[in-house]
Structure 1
């Protein structure tokens, strides 16, 4: 049993109250500290009183943290041992864990550029010193001091996002998921060893009531969760809910069908089907039933293996949990046509661990609410599509259109509830210059108008 402490402003913090976390086979694997509300509240006061990391130094510090994260032992584990431990704990394929860790280190090394990506052209960059020589214009300023992260446990990759806040001068409190406290613990330890003061960055595992307290005591917060989280915080300007992605692929009649099938397969299996950018819905313009059958056939070829295998593509979990999810999917499908039913495939050499195989379900209408229903494994809902009905595509984190029709792409790009629009790419495609659900800086920063120079120097003749 690992003993996982919190990380407070003065170092590791162990508590009497602990949460036992089981691994992917259901066996207790670690005990996680549970920080009480009064302690967390005091920590946030200390964060707020701490001077921010100077923006001019942040890039070098975070780049050094990438080297510590990737190349040094942290808490007794080198990166390979850490990644194996995370895969065994969460049931996430080892290859996915490694990919996410590469994303974390790449983001740390590129933070100087990514942190400026959201800055309007008319703003001086963050950290610009106030001076009476500044002409009339604007500066890029924080909207607060303390940023809270209620992390998800579906993918280690969620921890590639929030270090940008440090580079912008925020102090950060991370409330890790019980499913995977190891990745944020390694990352925060690496950041501290690289030079981020402990009083600017803490890890606070806690119960739900204390998690709510963290949100209320912080100036800005990003919160991961289901539709209930989105509904709870949708009207809060200081909170950015990260809910279901409901990412969709459109396969138009004018595009190559074989390529469309490969796009659907790749998107469905991305990060074992657990990522918000994994493909949930596929809308097909010609013969959706045939497409669903073909997709089912190719996904049925995926071999269920344990997370440590190099060929692992599916999530693993205790067999009882896998059976529960498979049953829930079939119950939800109701009268829909199930082309590929999920099953809990017990892994003989792994005790009670099971891999959960993919599902493909055909819907009669693109307006069926099941098209947006996400499951934590590769599950694809296939529905018919007609041009001129792009409204059914709204509400998608990522929308990929496999088509030659630029007019259709233009219409989809105007949908207000679609964050990312791609052409003939998997919904899971990422690029450092393409924001994920907008730039984080849009949420953390704002333009502050300044006119500090002598009025005679800034006046314009009209």
Structure 2
């Protein structure tokens, strides 16, 4: 088994208390350090008292880190071996792991792109010395010094997001998910080797009580989790919550139905259905029952193989967990029409590795709360859509619209609880210039009025 240490300000740190982490089949795979609260408090004090690398130097350092991440052996694994190990550990298809790792290295090589897009036009350029700024204007500066990340384990791609805070001069504390400590360990190690000071970036595996302590000691925090996490931190202005996506697709009657079906399939299967931008609800203006049947037929064709197979497209997990998920969906569906019931398929090998097949359920009304019920596999709730009642679309991380009606799209853009609106694209579509859930820079930085003499 691998022995994963914490990465503190003085380097690797091994603890007496350890957490045993199992792989996707339920077999123990690694031992993970668990850092106590007193040590974490001391580490955060150390970070707060340290000087970060200047913003102007960060791009070169982070580009070097991308090279290290891709080319060096870390924990005895080259990149391909690391990706296979992450797939086996988490049950995430290896093709998804590769895609997420590419996102991480692409971000490292162009890390100031997103902050530059988020920076108000009235503010001086990032990293510009005060004497070189306009005599009267504004500077864009951090709202704090220490940034905490409670990472999710559903996708390695989440670790591309906090790199922006590091580049802007924050001292960053990453609390990894027990499900995937390997990706952040490789990334933090690569950043250290590239020249990021150990007093600017640390990796702190710990229990839940210590995780709460990290948030309280930090100036800003990025937290991933379910509805319980949303409820816990919803009134905290210093905490940015990445909760359930509840992403939805509208297929209007005026649009090509076959193309709409393709958008639904692509969105539902994105990242094995585990991403917050994967399609959860589909609202169909004409014949939702027929659309649900067609979607079920398409998703039924997804192959059932283990996560390290290049053809894998569904999540894998211990058989008992898969059975609980499938049962929960069917129980919640109740009297709704199940066009495709989730099925648990055991894949063999050591342990009880299983995969779970997609589900498609037709709801009688778009007001049914199940339209936003999100599970970590491709599960789609199909409901009728009435364009006179667009409020059912609110509360979506991504809202995709397949329609020729520009007025409908304009109304959707005005919905206050919708983060992203995509017209003619799947909910899973991504672009480096389009924010995931607003620009992180909006949360990390602020405009400070600035004036100086000639």
TM-score (norm 2): 0.99
What is the 5 A alignment of 1:80-95?
A: 80-95=80-95
* SS of corresponding position for 1:397: strand
Asked whether 1:279 is paired with 2:267, we answer no
Partner of residue 246, structure 2 = 246
8 Å contact from structure 2 (residues 27, 351) kept in 1: no
Partner of residue 267, structure 2 = 267
CA RMSD in angstroms comes to 1.0
* Distance in structure 1 (CA, Å) of the matches to 2:399 and 2:133: 46
Partner of residue 460, structure 1 = none
8 Å contact from structure 1 (residues 222, 242) kept in 2: yes
* SS of corresponding position for 2:229: helix
Deviations 1:141-164 (A, max 9, x none): 000000000000000000011011
Shift of 1:131: 3.2
Partner of residue 196, structure 1 = 196
Asked whether 1:388 is paired with 2:388, we answer yes
What is the 5 A alignment of 1:15-30?
A: 15-30=15-30
Deviations 1:400-432 (A, max 9, x none): 000000000000000111111001111000000
* SS of corresponding position for 2:12: strand
Asked whether 1:213 is paired with 2:205, we answer no
8 Å contact from structure 1 (residues 84, 308) kept in 2: yes
Segment drifting more, 109-118 vs 2-11:
109-118
Partner of residue 340, structure 2 = 340
Asked whether 1:357 is paired with 2:357, we answer yes
Partner of residue 76, structure 1 = 76
Partner of residue 323, structure 1 = 323
Is the alpha carbon distance of 1:403 and 1:350 closer, same or farther for their aligned partners in structure 2, counting shifts above 3 Å?
farther
Deviations 1:187-207 (A, max 9, x none): 000001001000100000000
8 Å contact from structure 1 (residues 278, 428) kept in 2: yes
* SS of corresponding position for 2:400: strand
What is the 5 A alignment of 1:373-412?
A: 373-412=373-412
Deviations 1:59-98 (A, max 9, x none): 1111111111011212221100100000000010000000
Partner of residue 52, structure 1 = 52
* Distance in structure 1 (CA, Å) of the matches to 2:148 and 2:393: 31
TM-score (norm 1): 0.97
Deviations 1:239-260 (A, max 9, x none): 0010000000000001111111
* SS of corresponding position for 1:450: strand
Is the alpha carbon distance of 1:125 and 1:291 closer, same or farther for their aligned partners in structure 2, counting shifts above 3 Å?
same
8 Å contact from structure 1 (residues 304, 355) kept in 2: yes
Q: What stretches of structure 1 of length at least 5 have no aligned partner?
A: 455-462
Shift of 1:127: 2.4
* Distance in structure 2 (CA, Å) of the matches to 1:351 and 1:133: 62
Q: What stretches of structure 2 of length at least 5 have no aligned partner?
A: none
* Distance in structure 2 (CA, Å) of the matches to 1:107 and 1:221: 20
Partner of residue 458, structure 1 = none
Is the alpha carbon distance of 1:384 and 1:54 closer, same or farther for their aligned partners in structure 2, counting shifts above 3 Å?
same
* SS of corresponding position for 1:286: coil
Partner of residue 144, structure 2 = 144
8 Å contact from structure 1 (residues 134, 453) kept in 2: no
* Distance in structure 1 (CA, Å) of the matches to 2:453 and 2:179: 53
* Distance in structure 2 (CA, Å) of the matches to 1:77 and 1:83: 9
Segment drifting more, 261-270 vs 106-115:
106-115
* SS of corresponding position for 1:348: coil
* Distance in structure 2 (CA, Å) of the matches to 1:241 and 1:453: 41
* Distance in structure 1 (CA, Å) of the matches to 2:358 and 2:431: 27
Is the alpha carbon distance of 1:132 and 1:432 closer, same or farther for their aligned partners in structure 2, counting shifts above 3 Å?
closer
8 Å contact from structure 1 (residues 280, 380) kept in 2: yes
8 Å contact from structure 1 (residues 115, 167) kept in 2: no
Shift of 1:133: 7.2
Deviations 1:252-307 (A, max 9, x none): 00111111111101100100000000000000000000000110111111121101
Greater than 6 Å deviation, 4+ residue runs: none
Shift of 1:231: 1.1
Shift of 1:132: 9.0
* SS of corresponding position for 1:123: coil
* SS of corresponding position for 2:199: helix
Partner of residue 459, structure 1 = none
* Distance in structure 2 (CA, Å) of the matches to 1:301 and 1:134: 60
* SS of corresponding position for 2:275: coil
8 Å contact from structure 1 (residues 19, 34) kept in 2: yes
